[in-house]
Amino acid sequence: MKNVFKPFLFGLIFTLSYLPIQAQDFSGAEKMGWKLASQAYTFKEFTLEQTLDKLNDLGIKYVEMYGGQTIGAGIEGKTDFRMSAEKRQQLKNLLLSKGITPVAFGVTKGHNEADWNQLFTFAKELGIGVITSEPDYGDLDLVESLCKKYDIKVAIHNHPIPSKYWHPKIVMNLLEGRSELIGVCADIGHWVRSGLDPIESLQTVEGRLLSFHFKDMNKFGERSAHDVPWGLGVSNISGVMHEMKRQGFDGHLSIEYEHNWMNSVPEIREAIAYFARVSDYLANAK
């Protein structure tokens, strides 16, 4: 009996070790209109194909792509809004085969009118609804007209001080009187690096909030700060999520985890488990 049982037990353990971890339940977030995505830059050391596999392992079904990632899957080259129609179709097929929906592309911008048109055409063909960008101030009229032409949103992203959109008041002043198709991609990690309270910053951009680069940082007010699993840092992620609910935020938030590049999946798994718990609580709270 022992000789029969031991191989069976070994086989069972071996099989279980290769089963996927149960997908995280994001029903609370979805109830509030929140789509948890990942910025592909989180996995910049890997191909896009490998990135999509990692997202499936994490149970994440949305991706924000960026320009310059090696594609993989037998497709030559890197992600680029200037890629040929043939390459765009191959990219669409790859995303479809992995069951991952592209919700945004960036951070990027055009260098002239033709370039901007090419960027919007790329987004339209891939079904991408949001371009994450830090456009030159002088391009905002053009960007606004293209948003209306293509019915695509542009979410203005903030890098840390002294970048041109580092403070939320800067972008709000520039967006005054403009189409609601132009808004804000709130990178809460860069706000924290710049010494800005993320909740106060969210309140400043209320009414223009389109998307997030979601981060929890280990230090406040320091450019050298790095990502930690959500809920363990100084970004007050729970408070941020409460503020999202108060504002009635409806859109995607991209995980952008820029630490422990080669083995970040366990930490990201911790982060999304925290996100699921808090969003479940908020979805059912009165």
> Quick one: pLDDT band at residue 146, thresholds 50, 70, 90?
very high
- Is the previous residue joined to 143 through a cis bond, with omega within 30 degrees of 0? no
Domain-located, residue 12: no
pLDDT, tens digit (0-9, with 9 covering 90-100), for 77-98: 999 999 999 999 999 999 999 9
Angle of helix 113-126 relative to helix 140-150, nearest 10 degrees, comes to 30
In a domain, 11, yes or no: no
Span 238-262, pLDDT tens digits: 999 999 999 999 999 999 999 999 9
CA-nearest of 67, 45, 43 to 55 is 43
Q: How many domains does the chain have?
A: 1
Confidence check: pLDDT of 20 > 50: no
Task: Give the domain range for residue 69.
Answer: 21-284
Q: What is the dihedral of CA 53, 56, 58, 60, to 10 degrees?
A: 120
CATH at 150: 3.20.20.150
